[in-house]
Structure 1
Amino acid sequence: MGVARRRVIAHGRVQGVFFRDATRREAERLGVAGWARNTSDGTVEAVFEGDHEAVEAMVGFVRGGPGHASVTQVDVSAEEPEGLEGFSVR
């Protein structure tokens, strides 16, 4: 299905629980590019770009909440791919 890009915002107990690092490891395992960062309102924002199925798997990973995270809501929006490479924690 080609390249997809999703921006996700995870709400709940998502900061200080290795959420971003676990997300980076999973993205690298699936070959998904992008980034994840903490925001000032206590959420984690992330962008995933790559193979459609792998990107959707990353959205599912965030919904499940890695490790000790407790995800209460995930906002997902589709965006135009930008050709990102690698995955970074910001």
Structure 2
Amino acid sequence: MEEIVRYYACAAGRVQGVGFRMFVRQQALAHEIAGWVKNMPDGTVTMELQGTQRGIDAAFAAIRAGNMFVHVERMDIAPRDTVAGDRDFSIRY
């Protein structure tokens, strides 16, 4: 069984008003990741992702790649302590 890890990330670029939070949630669900994603007043989007390192790496790769609407110019990532019992992924408002 793989170790569970958690990361905080802050994404900048064209990440608000383009479905980015839903895109992040889709990646999280596809890779069995728990956590949350939230728009910030400064135009960035913050998130915490918790899951296997392999799942987190795959999700971050897809998030960085974006899609036809999303364009991530910068993503700062830092490890966090895991949250016991965190199993869902939510969009925070």
Question: Aligning the two structures, in what range does the TM-score lie when normalised by the shorter sequence?
Answer: over 0.9
Number of aligned residues = 90
The Cα of 1:74 is off from its aligned counterpart by: 0.4
User: What residue number does 1:60 align with?
Assistant: 61
Is 1:89 paired with 2:91? yes
The answer for unaligned runs of 5 or more in structure 1 is none
Residue 25 of structure 2 aligns to which amino acid in structure 1? R
Q: Deviations over 1:17-49 (max 9, x none)?
A: 000001111111111000001001000101100
Provide the rounded CA distance (Å) in 2 between the counterparts of 1:10 and 1:30.
19
Q: How large is the RMSD of aligned CA atoms in angstroms?
A: 1.1
Corresponding residue SS for 2:46: strand
The answer for unaligned runs of 5 or more in structure 2 is none
Q: Percent sequence identity over matched residues?
A: 32
The Cα of 1:65 is off from its aligned counterpart by: 2.0
Superposition TM-score, scaled by structure 1 size:
0.92
Residue 8 of structure 1 aligns to which amino acid in structure 2? A
Is 1:70 paired with 2:71? yes
Corresponding residue SS for 1:16: coil
User: What residue number does 1:4 align with?
Assistant: 5
